[in-house]
Structure 1
């Protein structure tokens, strides 16, 4: 199925008009009448922008010539184009490129552009290039498939070096893998289209496996940012009549008077790593009415919040003091050309005092060198897609002292690669003194490695950025915390930050107890869709029966199901549909979605884990065992399948194999408290109490306050008549659970017997 398009007009010349003859006079009149800055209010002209229709950027040129010319040939303009001799930058004159034994040949035929390469069936075929994607420093090329899919080649053109290159140079990718160019990871409809075209509607039919994706304009045109403009154009087509009747122009989306944080929120729609919640963006609500942003978590981010994977700026910028002080995208970038407003340090010195910062007394580098550029210390970056250098927008002060202690990267050693982090840290101390300004990353790093209460210091203090606070809540919930600490966590369900409220709901779901359902119920009616969906997810997973008659639950579940179906062309989306139906008790439907997820991505072992469990529950033991073994084959260092196989073998009376796999689970990553518990318990059942204690001690290094591990340690110590050790263990258990009568009784008996 072909992509539906409204014809894109690229006008090179304009007829003389009053605008071109008297540009300054008319520009002043235009600014007064059109952008609304001189108006006290806006009114409806038939319909709001979110109810209007798209009329195309050609309708904007007459009044907005300057803005149009700035936008033309920008990255937004060049986001996507029809492939032809004016848009293709690469060499298609019978050139070839070979990667890991796969040869791609690029050629032209009858005015069209083609590549001959290996398809998803493993055979070589000719594929017609239908669209270009991007402009510089690289350009990709898109191929159409019969079911309405459009896929980007992984072989791209380096527009700077003028050569072909592969976007995954280190990977040996099989033709049928999800990450291959013909697989889902390079599917334009799924991965790219929403941010590279205007008024994008994905229109995926899960049952048929077919796309009917449409857009109003092929690239990121005027209405992508400013919303459908039919009402705006209609007003100015009858401007004199409307003004004579006292009618004011309709408000445009993302106008020039948008407050800074709201502007950042609006740009985030495309400049963020996020999940879609709605079938299309309708220019209503805020960012989290349409998207879930990703938190500052590994592997997308370094443990201190610096960028690692491709995260597209938004949640990096939210970390910065600049964002907190009201700086927005347009303070540095021209909103139409996207170019920086000034070059080098001149841009930073628009706000920062030159005599204080643009001097060797501040940066200790030679003036007018790359080393003296503010961005090279405060906006370190990374290469993505091999040659696309993007800077970290958290604007942080380099912290080589953190690198010394936690192995996080720092900007100093990015340039001084021949020096150690200790050298850089000592230099900082020598020049700036021993004290570093408090930063949320200090506490996140300590939370990961030393004390989980450091996470609480972040999320409980509103001086830290909202995104950092929300991240800390998720990290905290994944550590060993007491019932009282979980109960205290529920107060953040009422936090003023939507990020914090949302992440608290998700944290409580991770914890897995229905005790906190009464506190979550109000979130089903939260003002923001993302939070309502998270609350619906919580109840569908944890405690559906307590709320299934509530109207607010039904409505929120409807929004949740919309999100699930919308993302059903992702393996992760299919997995979530499986989880949803599993929570409803429909294991057959869940099985169907998990199997689809694995078919879509043969390395989707999260779905395999759930598949194996359902197989076992259905009595399909051999299928369950084979599925766990397949996961181990693909991920031999992953602890969970070893643990589950250990349980399976125990259930099927294969004790020796059970012990073998539980032991293996205790030596793999990530650490699994359940594996330590079950393995130690089985050793005790075989009267191997000393070995059991050794395993428990190993587990307690990672899970020092795990009540179950401490309890079976207590049992082993009693069995071995180690009464003093047993009393110490029992006292620790009573610190964790002081009202437990069994612990009180055991301690009393131990004291009497000592």
Structure 2
């Protein structure tokens, strides 16, 4: 069912005409709701920007869950597939420690880390580590489970409350020749002390939330917020057959049926089938040297969607997902978000393949994961360039004329140029699955890396760009430039993003990312485009819009959010519901109200499901505050701070609630106390500066605003606010100097440029005002 969205169009245009999105000035003492929006992640929580590095597992037990039969049962009929799976990374994802599963050296070995010596030993056939616990003292801990196998193996330790924590000292399981066969620490360059969320006893090394979902089959987290404890269970400890195929009980029943009766059960008794991809036929085009899918009407998305449930940077929002379920009904994936991906879409942080693959021409052509990987052993189907030769004619591509490196050399390997690696967890080199053409011409423009300089480290980006242009001609335009403009607030960002959003030749995840950036530059034109997108069929573009609705003015929000309530994607609808909380909703059909209430119920359920995390508590608090329930919001934020004192967004939002209720001194006290726990003080300093402005403590306020604006983690907003504050105190020349220095750090930022135009105009510097005004055009 579609919402009759035309009734929203005229109000949308009128509201946008009344909104001045380019205001040149700001009252520093004005309402600080922008801080709450800036601090608030979408509260159907996307994958955190915090590291998902150390894997961990729970005090889990086998779940009594009807329908699961276990891998051994599957192997009784499917011996070849079972043999492929045994000893695969899926099989070894998590194991009980014994002589077969443990690869680390527990023969009374030790490892020193910033003065703490951890010792690994065996006793009575069990494996132990003596290391620093949550109190900073040395304790002896039995190893509960092994976690992973290669290129590193981690070890899980049971702590009270049903928690399993991943030890940060891990075993490098690579060969000695590769630098392995040693103990090492995941964070060698900084001392991680007890109390730090990255310490092995900390919240960010907790298996139950961070990693369990993808290392076991049919996992149930089972967090109890009242007791702050877990009762995590699974159907199978590792990643078994049914993690991908779904419960096998009906399949076993199907196999027992006489041949003539088997057609009664669809998909041989499973809820999902991957057999359709077996019908795929690829024809080689001798002119291009590339194979094309002949029967383009087959569905290649089910397999990718199943793999995406784990091989993506995503947050689990609702429990109980099975392989056949829609991805966006249970998971909130990252798009090409800053700090996760470079602007051109290359991997930056750990993003787990899916978001990269969706950018690729391979995905666009109908390639699936199993075209390259055996889905049971997980190994590539062919070694070396032969894998690519399945679809790319070797006589055209595996030649010196194409790669201009000596045949058989490292530079002649397809993956060296088209799948460069980045190393995570110190030893784990992972390949970028976007299969991109190297673009050194973009590196100097937008700061993205390129494969050429990754090897030729003594050369320049321009050197590589010149060679590629000489060989292949001028490079094509690239979406990375538009994404970069959107991230950096470039004056032409809206135009670039609009062009990208409307370009149906670009990958959907790229267009969805552009959609998510566009609301920061909302105009009548872009608002109309977004409303058309809300009525379209792209699930990812719907998600991109829903994630960005908190940057849309409240008066305009219903016009863009209400259509999303009518879509099928549960996560997207829940985000839209959250965005509408507190917005004017009168005058809409009764059905809108029903869908809004359902979306809010889902949003709350997702936040409560993840209430073991401060992000979810803070997000639920933000919803309650918009609903007018300040007491509940304060309680939730206090819970979040108690759970994770370092979590700055909860502190800032609670300080803002205190401000709104006239408790400015409580706000100041809270912010000052929080600085003792924060690992990035700049947001707190900025917020405290604004509090001090409101209290008319201007000398202290200016010092706090200055410190935040000069911090390494400063945002353009901090620079802008500090400049405005200086100008408001009769210090225009200092304001101009700070703003100009800020512009060097954040080229093209519209707020900083607008402030410079305004202050120069006030000072009668019309030539300078015009110069900055031109940069805004």
Return the alpha-carbon distance in structure 1 between the equivalents of residues 481 and 695 of structure 2.
48
Q: Does 1:266 align with 2:310?
A: no
Q: Does 1:105 align with 2:119?
A: yes
Is the contact between residue 400 and residue 409 of structure 1 (CA under 8 Å) also seen in structure 2?
yes
Q: Please give the per-residue CA displacement for 1:308-364, whole angstroms capped at 9, x wherever unaligned.
A: 111110000000000000001000001111111000000101110111100001101
How far did 1:284 drift? Answer: 4.5
Secondary structure of the 2:75 match is: coil
The 1:74/1:625 distance shift into structure 2, 3 A limit, reads: same
Is the contact between residue 722 and residue 735 of structure 2 (CA under 8 Å) also seen in structure 1?
no
How far did 1:220 drift? Answer: 0.6
Secondary structure of the 1:114 match is: strand
Q: Which moved more, 1:295-304 or 1:612-621?
A: 612-621
Q: Please give the per-residue CA displacement for 1:116-147, whole angstroms capped at 9, x wherever unaligned.
A: 11111212111111111111111111111231
The 1:598/1:713 distance shift into structure 2, 3 A limit, reads: same
The 1:130/1:682 distance shift into structure 2, 3 A limit, reads: closer
The 1:53/1:248 distance shift into structure 2, 3 A limit, reads: closer
2:148 equivalent in structure 1 = 134
The 1:312/1:248 distance shift into structure 2, 3 A limit, reads: closer
Q: Does 1:538 align with 2:582?
A: no
2:290 equivalent in structure 1 = none
The 1:83/1:671 distance shift into structure 2, 3 A limit, reads: closer
1:32 equivalent in structure 2 = none
Kindly report which structure 2 residues correspond to 1:165-176, keeping only aligned pairs within 5 A, or say none. Answer: 165-176=184-195
How far did 1:55 drift? Answer: 1.4
How far did 1:104 drift? Answer: 1.1
Return the alpha-carbon distance in structure 2 between the equivalents of residues 730 and 335 of structure 1.
56
The 1:714/1:180 distance shift into structure 2, 3 A limit, reads: closer
2:234 equivalent in structure 1 = 215
2:512 equivalent in structure 1 = 470
1:567 equivalent in structure 2 = 610
Is the contact between residue 166 and residue 200 of structure 2 (CA under 8 Å) also seen in structure 1?
yes
Is the contact between residue 310 and residue 384 of structure 1 (CA under 8 Å) also seen in structure 2?
yes
Aligned counterpart for 1:82 among listed residues 78, 89, 96: 96
Q: Please give the per-residue CA displacement for 1:42-80, whole angstroms capped at 9, x wherever unaligned.
A: xxxxxxxxx961111222122211111111111111111
Return the alpha-carbon distance in structure 1 between the equivalents of residues 63 and 705 of structure 2.
60
Q: Does 1:512 align with 2:553?
A: yes
1:26 equivalent in structure 2 = none
Secondary structure of the 2:619 match is: helix
The 1:696/1:309 distance shift into structure 2, 3 A limit, reads: closer
Please report the TM-score for the alignment, with normalisation by the length of structure 1. 0.84
Return the alpha-carbon distance in structure 1 between the equivalents of residues 767 and 434 of structure 2.
49
Q: Does 1:413 align with 2:457?
A: no
Kindly report which structure 2 residues correspond to 1:345-424, keeping only aligned pairs within 5 A, or say none. Answer: 345-424=385-464
Return the alpha-carbon distance in structure 2 between the equivalents of residues 432 and 726 of structure 1.
43
Secondary structure of the 1:164 match is: strand
Aligned counterpart for 1:163 among listed residues 169, 172, 182: 182
1:3 equivalent in structure 2 = 60
The 1:482/1:643 distance shift into structure 2, 3 A limit, reads: farther
Aligned counterpart for 1:279 among listed residues 314, 319, 330: 319
Aligned counterpart for 2:629 among listed residues 557, 562, 586: 586
How far did 1:699 drift? Answer: 7.5
Q: Which moved more, 1:560-569 or 1:593-602?
A: 593-602
Is the contact between residue 700 and residue 706 of structure 1 (CA under 8 Å) also seen in structure 2?
no
The 1:97/1:728 distance shift into structure 2, 3 A limit, reads: closer
How far did 1:627 drift? Answer: 3.6
Return the alpha-carbon distance in structure 2 between the equivalents of residues 345 and 561 of structure 1.
49
Secondary structure of the 1:235 match is: helix
Of structures 1 and 2, the one with the larger relative CO (CA 8 A, separation 6+) is 2
Return the alpha-carbon distance in structure 1 between the equivalents of residues 102 and 772 of structure 2.
73
1:195 equivalent in structure 2 = 214
Return the alpha-carbon distance in structure 1 between the equivalents of residues 215 and 72 of structure 2.
18
Return the alpha-carbon distance in structure 1 between the equivalents of residues 265 and 416 of structure 2.
53
The 1:234/1:429 distance shift into structure 2, 3 A limit, reads: same
Aligned counterpart for 2:158 among listed residues 144, 147, 160: 144
How far did 1:505 drift? Answer: 2.4
Q: Does 1:657 align with 2:700?
A: yes
Return the alpha-carbon distance in structure 1 between the equivalents of residues 96 and 337 of structure 2.
37
Return the alpha-carbon distance in structure 2 between the equivalents of residues 245 and 590 of structure 1.
53
How far did 1:488 drift? Answer: 3.6
Secondary structure of the 1:593 match is: helix
Is the contact between residue 568 and residue 577 of structure 1 (CA under 8 Å) also seen in structure 2?
no
Is the contact between residue 177 and residue 601 of structure 1 (CA under 8 Å) also seen in structure 2?
no
How far did 1:215 drift? Answer: 0.5
Secondary structure of the 2:130 match is: strand
Is the contact between residue 526 and residue 532 of structure 1 (CA under 8 Å) also seen in structure 2?
yes
Is the contact between residue 648 and residue 684 of structure 2 (CA under 8 Å) also seen in structure 1?
no
Return the alpha-carbon distance in structure 2 between the equivalents of residues 56 and 357 of structure 1.
44
1:606 equivalent in structure 2 = 649
The 1:618/1:117 distance shift into structure 2, 3 A limit, reads: farther
Gaps (5+ residues) in structure 2?
A: 1-57, 175-179, 278-298
The 1:612/1:727 distance shift into structure 2, 3 A limit, reads: closer
The 1:367/1:2 distance shift into structure 2, 3 A limit, reads: closer
How far did 1:460 drift? Answer: 1.6
Q: Please give the per-residue CA displacement for 1:278-332, whole angstroms capped at 9, x wherever unaligned.
A: 1221345311111111111221111211101111100000000000000010000
Return the alpha-carbon distance in structure 2 between the equivalents of residues 543 and 189 of structure 1.
39
The 1:544/1:585 distance shift into structure 2, 3 A limit, reads: farther
Q: Please give the per-residue CA displacement for 1:677-725, whole angstroms capped at 9, x wherever unaligned.
A: 68536744x555666666677788969796998599669846x6x4977
Aligned length: 687
1:644 equivalent in structure 2 = 687
1:39 equivalent in structure 2 = none
1:154 equivalent in structure 2 = 168
Q: Please give the per-residue CA displacement for 1:614-642, whole angstroms capped at 9, x wherever unaligned.
A: 33445554442244345666779865434
Is the contact between residue 490 and residue 516 of structure 1 (CA under 8 Å) also seen in structure 2?
no
Secondary structure of the 2:165 match is: strand
Is the contact between residue 639 and residue 671 of structure 1 (CA under 8 Å) also seen in structure 2?
no
Is the contact between residue 217 and residue 236 of structure 2 (CA under 8 Å) also seen in structure 1?
yes
Q: Does 1:461 align with 2:503?
A: yes
Return the alpha-carbon distance in structure 1 between the equivalents of residues 534 and 452 of structure 2.
40
Aligned counterpart for 2:364 among listed residues 324, 334, 338: 324
Is the contact between residue 311 and residue 352 of structure 2 (CA under 8 Å) also seen in structure 1?
yes
Q: Please give the per-residue CA displacement for 1:469-518, whole angstroms capped at 9, x wherever unaligned.
A: 1111222333x443543344332212321111121122232233332303
Is the contact between residue 333 and residue 339 of structure 1 (CA under 8 Å) also seen in structure 2?
yes
1:47 equivalent in structure 2 = none
- Flag the structure with larger Rg: 1
2:250 equivalent in structure 1 = 231
Q: Does 1:553 align with 2:596?
A: yes
Q: Does 1:184 align with 2:203?
A: yes
Please report the TM-score for the alignment, with normalisation by the length of structure 2. 0.81
